[in-house]
Structure 1
Amino acid sequence: MQRIGIIGVGEIGRAVVEGLRHGGGASPEVFLSPRGARAAAELSERFEGVRVCAGNQDVVDRSEVVIIAVRRQDHREALAGLRVDDDTTVISLMAGVATDDLRRTLATGAPIVRAIPLPAVRERRSVTVTCPSHPVVDSLFDQLGGALPVADEGAFDVFSALTGTLTAHYAYLATLTSWAAGHGIAPGTAERYVRGLFGNVGRSLGDERSLHRLAADHETPGGNNERIRTTWFDPANAAALAKALDGLLDDLR
């Protein structure tokens, strides 16, 4: 793979470019759409072989693989009239846009693969769900932390819904920080501690223990962790989270 195009240079598009350039070495040429002009210009100045194109069709014409990373509500307008040859590989990063829908918009017989890269691809530390498995696409994301192919879009949408919980996690940490500040801890000190606390917990996810086992191993019976888990994250709280995820999944489908 020598030439990759990206239409829609937002946070994820930027992360993909940075991941491809992470650590140096041989990297494909990258062609960026002018959509997200500031980010595209900054990336082209930072990295050799990254260029901003005149328009979306120019991106497609120059690329073997085209990554589409525009917002789903904008995709028909952004992609209207594009000509995509059947020997191009299309990667869609648009949550809630089914493959058949995108194929109708592009009017192409090219292979279309959906993917869910996360910002950590910039450090090549994020597993990316893909659907369906495709050798070119899976190889690309293997370089960026790993590919996790799934066979059907129903399963893919479940993973997409899970991805929608990320900012809730950050908000949870911010709430803990605010609670500590409300009890007299300096906000900067509280945030430093919360970041360290959960950064270290996150590293434990790299071992082979199940999530239930990890929870049990971090608790003492009758201790502080068990108390918060059972009094705050109770069955009603868990059911509310499941209901929110079910609603998101319905929208994605």
Structure 2
Amino acid sequence: MQHIGIIGVGEIGGAVVDGLSDGVEDPPRVHLSPRGARAAAELSGRYANVEVCAGNQEVVDRSDLVILAVRRPDVHDALAGLRVDDGTVVVSVVAGVAVADLRAILGTGAPVVRAIPLPPVRERRCVTVTYPSHPVVDAFFGRLGEALPAADEAAFNVMSALTGTLTTHYAFLGTLATWAAGHGIAPDEAERYVRGLFQAAGRSLGDETRSLQRLAADHETPNGLNERVRTTWFDPGNAEALTKVLDAVLGDLG
């Protein structure tokens, strides 16, 4: 695919552009919608292979693969009246909108695939869940890290629900840094240490020979600090509350 279109140039759209373009010897042509005008203009100014189109239809007409990256409430407005040729591959990164609904909105026989790219596509090291599996789409996200096709749309929605925990993780780290600052540590030093602590922990996730439960056990000593925090704060009630929130999110996505 040498012509990629993106309708909706927000955080994910911009990250995809960076991943396709930054430091790439022969990048594809990328056609951006004027939606998110400031971000689109900045990207086209940064990369010679990127251009801003006059409208969404021009994006579709110029592209072999089109990424829909608008917010869920804006889907109908963004796609209304678009003519999509059956030879174009459509990739939706819109959470909570099923393949059948997208196909009905577009009124096309073109392949429609859902995907969950995350900001690490910028560094070309993101595991992107897709559904249904499509060779062109899976190869596309392979360029940006790795494609992980879901078995069915229900499984895809479960993976989508998991992404709703990302900012909670950042807020958790922020709470740790704020606690340390409240005990006399300079705020910038507290944040630097928390970042370094969890960046180091995150690298251990690359060891796929150990389950997540095994990693937790390997980082604990009996009656140690880690075990104390885990068993007193992240207790069964806490875990149950998290499970209930995820179930509610999944219900909204389904």
Query: Do they superpose with TM above 0.5?
Result: yes
Deviation for aligned residue 1:125: 1.1
Deviation for aligned residue 1:184: 1.1
Where in structure 2 are the equivalents of 1:1-253 lying within 5 Å? 1-207=1-207, 208-253=209-254
Q: Distance in 2 between matches of 1:228 and 1:193?
A: 18
Q: Distance in 1 between matches of 2:216 and 2:11?
A: 32
Q: What amino acid is aligned across from residue 82 of structure 1 in structure 2?
A: L
Q: What amino acid is aligned across from residue 27 of structure 2 in structure 1?
A: S
Q: What amino acid is aligned across from residue 109 of structure 2 in structure 1?
A: G
Deviation for aligned residue 1:48: 1.0
TM-score relative to the length of structure 1: 0.99
Q: Percent identity?
A: 72
8 Å CA contact 1:66–1:89 kept in 2: the answer is yes
Q: What amino acid is aligned across from residue 229 of structure 1 in structure 2?
A: R
Q: Could you list the per-position Cα deviations for residues 9-42 of structure 1 after superposition, in whole angstroms to 9, with x for gaps in the alignment? A: 0000000000001332111100000000001001
8 Å CA contact 2:177–2:191 kept in 1: the answer is yes
Q: Distance in 2 between matches of 1:158 and 1:109?
A: 27
Q: Distance in 2 between matches of 1:81 and 1:26?
A: 33
Q: Distance in 1 between matches of 2:41 and 2:22?
A: 18
8 Å CA contact 1:103–1:109 kept in 2: the answer is yes
Q: Distance in 2 between matches of 1:135 and 1:194?
A: 40
Q: What amino acid is aligned across from residue 242 of structure 1 in structure 2?
A: T
Instruction: Note the aligned Cα RMSD (angstroms).
Output: 0.6
Name structure 2 gaps, 5 residues minimum.
Answer: none
Count how many residue pairs are aligned between Structure 1 and Structure 2. 253
Q: Distance in 2 between matches of 1:191 and 1:141?
A: 33
8 Å CA contact 2:21–2:49 kept in 1: the answer is no
8 Å CA contact 1:22–1:124 kept in 2: the answer is no
Q: Could you list the per-position Cα deviations for residues 80-125 of structure 1 after superposition, in whole angstroms to 9, with x for gaps in the alignment? A: 0000011100000000000111111100010000000000100001
SS of the aligned residue for 1:128 comes to strand
Q: Could you list the per-position Cα deviations for residues 182-220 of structure 1 after superposition, in whole angstroms to 9, with x for gaps in the alignment? A: 111111110000000000000000002111110001000
Q: Distance in 1 between matches of 2:243 and 2:194?
A: 26
Q: What amino acid is aligned across from residue 122 of structure 1 in structure 2?
A: R
Q: What amino acid is aligned across from residue 75 of structure 2 in structure 1?
A: H
After superposing on structure 2, the runs of 4+ consecutive aligned residues of structure 1 that deviate more than 3 Å are none
Deviation for aligned residue 1:141: 0.4
SS of the aligned residue for 2:145 comes to coil
SS of the aligned residue for 1:127 comes to strand
Q: Distance in 1 between matches of 2:21 and 2:85?
A: 27
Name structure 1 gaps, 5 residues minimum.
Answer: none
